[in-house]
Amino acid sequence: MSADSFKRAAAEAAVALVQPGMSIGLGTGSTALFATQAIGARLREGSLRDIVAIATSKGVDDLARELGIPLQDDAMPRAVDLTIDGADEVDPDFNLIKGAGGALLREKVVAEASAREVIVVDESKLSPRLGTRFPVPVEVLEFGWQSQAGFLAGLGAEVVPRRKDGQPFRTDQGNLVLDCRFGPIADAHALAARLAGRAGVVEHGLFLGLVHDVIVAGPGGVRHLRRGDP
């Protein structure tokens, strides 16, 4: 099976948790997109109804509209029952690095508003410690961004400004992203606190203590891991 097959299997297992009447968060990224497509398919076939969704990026918002998924206002007046999202790296305590798709701010807003955050990944995203395989994306204001790069380097990061098509990458909010390779992070909570306390840092890709379920697909099948399981 291909990596996409594993991603699709994990996403479809998560979509089985979606029930009529729910408010759903739609994640950004290749695995989460499979979940959005599966939700659209269930709506079309009639096995799912009366849901409303909130998209974590403009791209996912556009896709949801194409698929006929009802969306609530971006002001998010309704609480989110269940969010299905992907991750770049997942540690044994269900902490994450997210933001490879550049939607880390909106993804975190929706995650923090969700009663249940479900992460769907293939086995390659599992890691013994955050930072082992992926850099931490840090969204920063364009104003003073080189100052932020210096601050992040002072914390031990190798800092690479993200680019797309030869130009600085911009988030849906118009901000820049600095990809920060720290290596294995000894204390992710302490690092998150340092990043959150810096003016000009809009958001960071450390998602700590937000996840309830991780659904993992690989050659051995699909595993549903729940917070608190032995």
Structure tokens at 74: 């971006």
Give every CB contact of residue 142 below 8 A, 6+ residues apart in sequence.
174, 175, 176
Give every CB contact of residue 54 below 8 A, 6+ residues apart in sequence.
23, 24, 25, 26, 71, 72, 74, 76, 80, 110
Report which of 128, 119, 131 is spatially closest to residue 179, judged by C-alpha positions.
131
- What is the spatial distance between Cα 104 and Cα 108, in angstroms, rounded to a whole number? 6
Q: What share of the chain is helix, strand, coil (3-state, %, to 5)?
A: 30, 30, 40
Residues 179 and 187 sit within 8 Å (Cβ to Cβ): no
Structure tokens at 89: 């790296």
Q: Does residue 107 have an active-site annotation?
A: yes
**Residue 27, Cβ density class (10 Å: 0-12 exposed, 13-18 middle, ≥19 buried):** buried
Catalytic residue among 107, 117, 139, 203: 107
Angle between helices 30-45 and 3-15 (to 10 degrees): 50
Q: Which residues form the catalytic set?
A: 107
